[in-house]
Amino acid sequence: MKRKIIIDCDPGQDDAIALLLAFAASDALDLLGITCVAGNVGLPLTLRNALKLRELVGRHDVPVFAGCPRPILQRLETAEHVHGETGLDGVDLPEPSFGADRRHAVDFLIKTCRSAGLNGLTLCPVGPMTNIATALVMAPDIGANIAEIAFMGGAALGPGNITPAAEFNVFVDPHAARIVLESGVRTTMFGLDVTHKALATPARRAAIDALDTPSGRAASQILAYYDRTDVDKYGDAGAPLHDPCVIAYLLAPELFDGRDCHTAVSTEDGPALGRTVVDWWGRSEALPNCRVITEIDANGFFDLLTERLGQV
Active site residue 242: yes
Q: Evaluate if pTM is beyond 0.85.
A: yes
Q: What is the DSSP string of 184-199?
A: SS-EEEE-HHHHTTSE
CB atoms within 10 A of CB 284: 11
* Rounded Cα distance, 73 and 85, in Å: 24
Distance from C-alpha of 78 to C-alpha of 21, rounded to nearest angstrom: 24
pLDDT (0 to 100) of residue 233: 63
In sequence order, what are the beta bridge partners of 151? 189
The single residue of 81, 83, 196, 242 carrying the catalytic annotation is 242
What is the rounded CA–CA span in Å between residue 75 and residue 69?
A: 10
Q: Give the confidence band of 228 by pLDDT, cuts at 50, 70, 90.
A: low
Mark residue 26 as left, alpha or beta (left: phi above 0; alpha: psi -120 to 50; beta: remaining): alpha
Q: What is the mean pLDDT of residues 78-106?
A: 97
Q: What span, in angstroms and rounded, lies between the C-alpha atoms of 169 and 126?
A: 8
Burial 109-135 (b: 16+ CB within 10 A, else e): bbebbeebeeebbbbbbbbbbbbbbbb
Confidence grade of residue 1 (pLDDT, cut at 50, 70, 90):
confident
Residue 6's pLDDT is 99
Q: Are strands 239-240 and 199-200 parallel, antiparallel or unpaired?
A: antiparallel
Residue 196 predicted with pLDDT over 90: yes
Pairing of strands 290-296, 276-278: unpaired
259: containing domain: 3-309
Average pLDDT over residues 175-179: 98
- At residue 232 the predicted structure's pLDDT band, cuts being 50, 70 and 90, is low
Percent of the chain at pLDDT exceeding 90: 95
pLDDT category at 198 given cuts 50, 70, 90 is very high
What is the domain-level CATH number for residue 71?
3.90.245.10
Residue 163: which pLDDT band, with cuts at 50, 70 and 90? very high
Mean per-residue pLDDT, 152-169: 97
Q: Are strands 256-261 and 290-296 parallel, antiparallel or unpaired?
A: antiparallel
Centre a 10 Å sphere on the Cβ of residue 213 and count the other Cβ atoms it contains: 16
User: What distance in Å separates the CA atoms of residue 82 and residue 69, rounded to the nearest whole number?
Assistant: 20
pLDDT in tens, 286-310: 999 999 999 999 999 999 999 999 9
Q: Which of 61, 46, 14, 253 is nearest to 148 (CA)?
A: 253
Does residue 100 surpass a pLDDT of 90? yes
User: If we measure between CA atoms, which residue out of 56, 34, 74, 50 comes closest to residue 169?
Assistant: 74
- pLDDT tens per residue, range 122-132: 999 999 999 99
Count of the separate structural domains present in the chain: 1
Strands (E), 87-185: 121-125, 146-152
